Every structure is written in C-alpha cells, then in structure tokens.
Amino acid sequence: MAFSLGNRTNPIPIPSDDAPLPSYIARHFNFGFDADDVSALISSIDASQDHGSTSTLPQLPAEILFHIVECVPIDHVLQWRLVCRGFRDCIDGPVMYNCIKRAEVFGIVASPSTLDWAGIPSDLQEILSHFRCRFERLEDSIEAPNPRKTNAKWRGLHAVFRIDDGWHEQLLRIETLFNDANKEKNWLYVLLRLHLHDFVASPRKADSFGKMRWCMRLDNAVLDLDFSIQALRENLILDLPSKKIMFEWKGLLLRFIQGETQLRTIMEQKRDSKFSFGHEEDCLRETRRRRIRASLNENIPGHSLLRWGLSTLPPLFGKRKKHEPAEEFRDLRRAEDSAMRFLMPLRRELAMSRTERDRLWQLAKDYVDMIDALENIEKQYTGWKNTLLTTTVVPSPIRFARSKNPFRWTEAERHRREARVLKWKAQQDNMQQVARLLEESLEAVSVPENAFDELGSDI
C-alpha cells in the first residue's frame, strides 16, 4: 500500500469529526483560530508552494509592501495578517501603533435625563453627557517581571489618553452652582448620578469609573471599547485629577478591530434582508450581541442569566416579536438602546463626506431658524388677540423637537425636516408680511406712552 502525504487534488482523508486533527493544523487552534482562519492559512501556504505558474508582474520591495499594509482599512487588516509572518509582525507593531495614535476614547457619563435629575443646568447637560480623550503616549509597565529590551515605539504596555480640558472645566464648574450649606451633599449626589461616585471613594481602584460606558473611534469605526465588562474593569483606570485614563492597549485594540471586521461581514451578508431598525443599526446590534455572548463564561455566576436575557432583546432583520421580556431583563433593552443613541450618530457622521456634513448642519440651522420664526409670529398673534379680548391668551408652544445633533435624525426624520424647511423658505416672504402686519396692528391698537402729554389739566 503506497503512502501519500496528500496534495491539492487528493487531500489526506480524515475519518470522522471526532478524529484528532493533524499536528500542523491542531497547533493553530490554541491561539483562537477558527475554521475560516485555518482555511485561509492553508490556502496561502498552498498558493505560495505553487511554482508551476510563472508570473510576469514586477516584484515590489518589502518596504513598499509594508507601506501598503499601513493603508489597509481596519476592517480588512486582519485578513492581511494571515498572509505571511512579515505582514503579521508589521501589523502587530507599527500598524497597531499608528492605529492607537489615531484613536479617540469616549466616556459616556450619563444620559440627559439623568443629568436633569441631578439638577444640572440644561446648557451643561449636552457637554457633560460624555467626554472625549485623545492619545497622549505609551507607558511601560513597571511591574512587568521580564520587560523586553527593545527600543520600538510600540513597546509600551499601557496607552495613556488625556481627557478634554473643556469637559473637566465644566465638571468643576458644577461644584460652584450649589449653596454653601448643602454644597458637599449636593456635590456627592451629582457625582453619584454621573456614575463617578466610585472614583471619589477609591480613585485608584480598577472599577474607579463606576457604571460608565466606554467607546472608541478609529477612522470611520465607532464601537464599544471592550465587550467584556470584567476585562475592561481590570484594565482601565480613570484618574480625574490628572485628566487621564490608562489601559492595556494591544489586546483591546485587536478585539476592537475584530468587532469592526465582524460588523462589516454581517453587513455584507445581510444586505438583501429585511430590517427592524435599519441596515447598519440591525447589523451593529447583532455584532454587539454576538461579542457580548462570546465574552460570557458559564462558570461565572450571573453569566448564564445574562445569556438568556440577550435572547429576550428585540428581534432583528424583520423578525416579529413573540413575547415581552420580564422586568429583570428590560435593563438590557434600555442599555442597548442607550448605546445605539450614542454609537449610531457618530457612525453616520464619520461615514459622510465633509460636504454632506456641512449640508446637514446647515439644514439643522435652517430648521431652528424656522421654529424661531414660527414662535415669533405665534407670540405676535397672541399679543394682538390679547388687545381685543378681556381674557389673557397664552401662546401655544411649537411642538417640534430641537435636537442639537442632526446626526441623530433617522433617514425618514431628515426627509420630513428637509420638506418642512423647503416649504418654510418658499413661504418666507408671505410670513414676513404677516409678521409686519401683526406688528403694525399692535402699534395701532396700543396707546403710546406720550398720548396724553399735550392735553391740558384741570388740576
């Protein structure tokens, strides 16, 4: 019986699924490789050993190839990482370092309703709802047992990001808004409502950021900073006095890129499906749910219940809802909706060109001007009616939402507002004539201040 190592046309037969894999394949599974990764690896090895075809294409130097790798979009870079060892080392080193330098971290402090309950003025609610952190530097770990002797710029274990100075100044400004008698009590209440009270109690603990959620933006991608809450609590440290956050960046950045790659794959697979919230939002919700499930451990108390709770979330891709979740699982729905309210506007903004963003901001400005003009006419008309009637008439409010961020509008909402603005601009001359008519009518029926100055007096 002849012995064969197998080839492309006649591979080595494997008796059953329970049979052990060959050693040259089995060793890859210890590093988290899935079936697609192994197939891509085998295909690349097989292609590199095919010497039958002679290529007439020019061979590029390795330096140019590495520069090309640095320009690959982040949701495709993991596929390039499987090509060869040189690409893998390039991506794990300088490419990842350039990614972390471009990244921005967002700390979601609280929702506007929470800030309203805390007694924070309305002009500060939008500013304090979240803060932005920009990359500052990498730091080596002092506690590392055997630090590697290398001068590479990306050798640091921890990435340090600096909190925006404007947000920190506004946070300190809140402390001056309360009375001196209850200043400390009110300030602690505000920190508690802002999910920052744990930081006051223990500023250097791993869970010092309380119940805050964290997101990261890298190029056009915006996702949760990490889907394993426990891993994030162990790695991330918030230091408010020094306005800095610090975390182990390499593994976290790799998981972030894996999440964005998974999102792109789902969007390609579900392009022709029906949607419950929209194409991108449905795929983003599905990605977050898959990543959360993958981070759960059945041996940890509460994780099995959380896995069950994820199945009670609203169905996606046009599927109908079969039942209402129990009250204990509704917090998952609220948490997911809250994350979508922050992630989707940022993703819409980053996906647009500069011209599209400017046009949308102009539409938002025109919409606010339209509401102001309508409210001014309503106020003048109410004043005119009050000069004719004995009872005082209160102006009815214009019930239009005043969202300061136009990227939070849905596609249907944007079309509705655009149509309203076009109608308002088409009738703007008529509305100005109505406003002048009301103003002149008010002057005609009102008694001027010097009406009786020229009359004589009997006193």
Question: Is residue 130 in some structural domain?
Answer: yes
Do 335 and 385 fall into the same domain?
Answer: no
Do 250 and 362 fall into the same domain?
Answer: no
Do 166 and 273 fall into the same domain?
Answer: yes
Round to whole Å and give the CA distance between 291 and 265.
14
Model pLDDT for residues 167-178, shown as the tens digit of each residue = 888 877 776 765
Question: Is residue 279 in some structural domain?
Answer: yes
Question: Is residue 452 in some structural domain?
Answer: no
Do 328 and 391 fall into the same domain?
Answer: no
- Is residue 237 within 8 A of residue 247, CB to CB? The reply is yes
Highest mean pLDDT among 5-14, 86-95, 315-324: 86-95
Any residues with CB less than 8 A from the CB of 200 and at least 6 apart, and which?
Answer: 188, 191
Model pLDDT for residues 29-41, shown as the tens digit of each residue = 554 556 666 666 6
Question: Is residue 451 in some structural domain?
Answer: no
Question: Is residue 402 in some structural domain?
Answer: yes
Round to whole Å and give the CA distance between 306 and 309.
5
Round to whole Å and give the CA distance between 395 and 379.
6
In which domain, by residue range, is 79 found? 23-47+61-93
Do 197 and 340 fall into the same domain?
Answer: yes
Q: Say what the pLDDT of residue 438 is.
A: 79
Residue range 424-437: mean pLDDT, rounded: 84
Asked which of 323, 351, 379 is the last residue of a domain, the reply is 351
Q: How many domains does the chain divide into?
A: 3
Q: Say what the pLDDT of residue 147 is.
A: 52
Mind spelling out the 3-state secondary structure of the chain? Answer: CCCCCCCCCCCCCCCCCCCCCCHHHHHHHHHCCCHHHHHHHHHHHHHHCCCCCCCCCCCCCHHHHHHHHHCCCCCCHHHHHCCCHHHHHHHHHHHHHHHHHHCEEEEECCCHHHHHHCCCCHHHHHHHCEEEEEEEEEECCCCCCCCCCCCCHHHCCEEEEEECHHHHHHHHHHHHHCCCCCHHHHHHHHHHHCCCHHHHHCCCCCCCCCCCEEEEEECCEEEECCCCHHHHHHHCEEECCCCEEEEEHHHHHHHHHHHHHHHHHHHHHCCCCCCCCCHHHHHHHHHHHHHHHHHCCCCCCCHHHHHHHHCCCCCCCCCCCCCCCCHHHHHHHHHHHHHHHHHHHHHHHHHCCHHHHHHHHHHHHHHHHHHHHHHHHHHHHHHHHHHHCCCCCCCCCCCCCCCCCHHHCCHHHHHHHHHHHHHHHHCHHHHHHHHHHHHHHHHHHCCCCCCCCCCCCCC
What Cα–Cα distance (Å) separates residue 51 from each residue in 48, 55, 87, 304? 8, 10, 21, 52
Do 227 and 328 fall into the same domain?
Answer: yes
Do 86 and 165 fall into the same domain?
Answer: no
Do 211 and 359 fall into the same domain?
Answer: no
Per-residue pLDDT at 203 exceeds 50: no
371 versus 441: the higher-pLDDT residue is 371
Per-residue pLDDT at 125 exceeds 70: yes
Residue range 328-355: mean pLDDT, rounded: 86
Residue type, 119: G
Question: Is residue 149 in some structural domain?
Answer: no
Do 303 and 337 fall into the same domain?
Answer: yes
Do 441 and 302 fall into the same domain?
Answer: no
Do 128 and 39 fall into the same domain?
Answer: no
Give 208's pLDDT tier (boundaries 50, 70, 90): very low
Asked which of 351, 371, 404 is the last residue of a domain, the reply is 351
Question: Is residue 453 in some structural domain?
Answer: no
Question: Is residue 10 in some structural domain?
Answer: no
Do 167 and 270 fall into the same domain?
Answer: yes
Q: Which of 196, 227, 234, 247 is nearest to 303 (CA)?
A: 227
Burial of 236 (0-12, 13-18, 19+ CB in 10 A): buried
86-95, 96-105, 133-142, 179-188: range with lowest mean pLDDT:
179-188
